[in-house]
A = this chain, B = another copy of it.
Amino acid sequence: MARVVVDVMLKPEILDPQGRAVHQALDRLGLVGVAQVRQGKHFVIDIAGDVSGEQRVLLEQLCAELLSNPVIEDYRLVIEPESPDGGLAAPASGS
């Protein structure tokens, strides 16, 4: 089971009102020194077996055309060859 992680963020020159709201909330709640907050989307895609070259090309294309809007967003695609626990697509619990 391979895990593909895609982060989609607004391009730096695009205003990010959600990130700005989070920035103001962090300030208000006492976190000092925050310079900037940007908010984006995080996709975790589990794929059976390893990711072939063909799948990788298609994934890049789908990231650029389906998961992000190339006019206003950048994406970053990371392929992790083996899901360590073979488990579900959620990060480690933070609580």
Contacts and interface: CB of A to CB of B under 8 A. Distances in A.
Interface of A: 1, 7-12, 19, 22, 25-26, 29-49, 55, 58-60, 62-64, 66-68, 70, 74-77, 87-95
A13 to B, nearest CB: 9
How many copies of this chain? 2
A91 B66 contact: no
B67 A91 contact: no
A92 B76 contact: yes
Contacts of A62: 26, 29, 31
A12 B87 contact: yes
22 contacts: A9-B90, A9-B91, A12-B87, A12-B88, A19-B43, A29-B58, A31-B55, A31-B59, A33-B47, A33-B55, A35-B47, A36-B46, A37-B43, A37-B44, A39-B42, A40-B43, A42-B42, A68-B94, A70-B95, A74-B95, A75-B91, A76-B91
